[in-house]
């Protein structure tokens, strides 16, 4: 169990300014992003004019310090922002969250002053980043990491393949995890992190993978063949910190996924309520049928529970607590809950829920990935259980 310092570590944006920003964003989501969803689906991409608007609103630099062009949000404000934007289709969150919650978080936490000065302003301005951990033979298993970084002069030569990497087809830079030791070392000290511009000679990208859902968001391979990077590319100028940096960033990533799943579940439920009031059977709206009401009520209760978990976890994060277990528990519950709400949304639609003409079919497909990325439900169970056992052995409780 975590223990909290008494003061907030990062006060973030002025609360009144943030409240105004959030209200503006919620209006933008409903008036601009949701109406554009059909266009995103048709083109399997976010239109450039929308990306330009998102950059202009500062959505790529939410948590970055103001001196680097960001908004300086704390964790609570960042996750509330992700929750707001995730009421729209998932592509809009995916394009910004890897920048903010993963790559920028790693640079802020572990980067040198020079790395922060070079990369944070560019990422805050909207250059797109990718987070390169997963490989064909490894995901959460750091011991299976195969990508190697071998010293060469003042730099390193990287070889390996990264798989299922969000934003890979169009990212400008990748934070690449690679072995700097052939042997597996304690505390995963064999893994280091490198900032690799993806136009570096030797870097190629696989084609964008066709997915079950989440149109407009793209994943693909990043292939590194004798890629030379200077020593300044090593994050923090220190070998062996890559996996620890990745895990710190994954806490933010898991909070982001949990917030997205919670917001998507709300969208699904709102759609189901609207349909249940419009669809009539036996002379009355199906919303009047008690078994339909039971599905609506179960969904509302579960969404409320996820919202409470989210706000508890982000408050602890802002007070400086370690939230490994809380982030994992929230991500696990919210992603599983989102799947259940999506299923009920289809069920309430009946036969119409199976047709692509209605949103419920897309919702069902979009929801499935939340239980997989940033750590599967099963990995989350292991993270939670290991932390519980560690706390028990230390007499914490």
> Which sequence positions are flagged as catalytic?
374
Residue 103 CA, chain-centre distance (Å), reads: 11
Q: At what angle do helices 324-349 and 242-278 cross, to 10 degrees?
A: 30
Is residue 264 within 8 A of residue 368, CB to CB? The reply is no
DSSP 7: S
Is residue 262 within 8 A of residue 308, CB to CB? The reply is no
Q: Which two tokens stand for residue 68?
A: 């680097």
Taking the C-alpha atoms of residue 24 and residue 57, their distance in angstroms, rounded to an integer, is 10
- β-partners of residue 193 are 177
**3-class secondary structure per residue, 230-273:** EHHHEHHHCCCCHHHHHHHHHHHHHHHHHHHHHHHHHHHHHHHH
Taking the C-alpha atoms of residue 327 and residue 316, their distance in angstroms, rounded to an integer, is 10
DSSP 103: I
Q: Which two tokens stand for residue 240?
A: 């062996």
Is residue 309 within 8 A of residue 333, CB to CB? The reply is yes
Q: Which one, of 361, 304, 378, lies nearest residue 334 by Cα?
A: 304
Q: Which two tokens stand for residue 206?
A: 């696989």
Q: What φ, ψ does residue 196 adopt, rounded to 5°?
A: -120, 110
Q: Which two tokens stand for residue 292?
A: 């339909």
Q: Indicate the SS3 state at residue 133.
A: coil
Helix, strand and coil percent figures for the chain, each rounded to 5: 55, 15, 30
Taking the C-alpha atoms of residue 234 and residue 193, their distance in angstroms, rounded to an integer, is 6
Half-sphere exposure of 77 (CA within 13 A, CB side): 25
Is residue 119 within 8 A of residue 173, CB to CB? The reply is yes
């Amino acid at each position: 169990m975590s223990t909290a310092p008494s003061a907030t570590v990062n006060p973030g944006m002025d609360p009144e300014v943030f409240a105004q920003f959030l209200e503006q964003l919620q209006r933008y989501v409903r008036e601009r992003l949701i109406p554009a969803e059909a266009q995103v689906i048709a083109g399997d991409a976010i239109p450039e004019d929308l990306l330009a608007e998102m950059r202009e609103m500062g959505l790529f630099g939410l948590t970055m310090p103001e001196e680097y062009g960001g908004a300086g949000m704390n964790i609570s404000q960042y996750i509330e922002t992700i929750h707001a934007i995730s009421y729209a289709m998932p592509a809009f969150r995916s394009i910004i969250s890897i920048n903010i919650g993963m790559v920028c978080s790693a640079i802020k936490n572990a980067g040198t002053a020079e790395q922060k000065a070079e990369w944070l302003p560019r990422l805050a301005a909207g250059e797109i980043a990718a987070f390169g951990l997963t490989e064909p033979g490894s995901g959460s298993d750091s011991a299976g990491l195969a990508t190697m970084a071998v010293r060469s002069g003042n730099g390193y030569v990287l070889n390996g393949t990264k798989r299922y990497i969000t934003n890979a087809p169009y990212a400008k830079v990748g934070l690449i995890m690679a072995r700097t030791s052939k042997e597996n070392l304690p505390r995963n000290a064999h893994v280091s992190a490198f900032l690799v511009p993806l136009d570096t000679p030797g870097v190629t990208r696989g084609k964008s993978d066709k997915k079950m859902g989440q149109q407009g968001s793209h994943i693909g391979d990043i292939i590194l063949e004798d890629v030379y990077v200077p020593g300044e590319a090593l994050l923090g100028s220190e070998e062996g910190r890559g996996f620890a940096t990745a895990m710190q960033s994954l806490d933010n990533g898991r909070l982001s996924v949990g917030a997205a799943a919670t917001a998507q579940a709300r969208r699904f439920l709102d759609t189901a309520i609207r349909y249940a009031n419009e669809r009539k059977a036996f002379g009355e709206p199906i919303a009047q049928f008690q078994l339909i009401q039971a599905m609506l009520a179960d969904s509302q209760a579960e969404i409320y529970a996820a919202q409470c978990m989210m706000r508890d976890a982000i408050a602890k994060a802002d007070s400086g607590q370690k939230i490994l277990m809380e982030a994992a528990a929230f991500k696990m519950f919210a992603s599983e809950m989102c799947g259940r709400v999506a299923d009920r949304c289809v069920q309430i639609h009946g036969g119409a829920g199976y047709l692509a003409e209605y949103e419920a079919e897309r919702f069902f497909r979009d929801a499935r990935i939340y239980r997989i990325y940033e750590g599967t439900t099963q990995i989350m169970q292991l993270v939670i259980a290991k932390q519980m056992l560690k706390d028990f052995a230390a007499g914490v409780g």
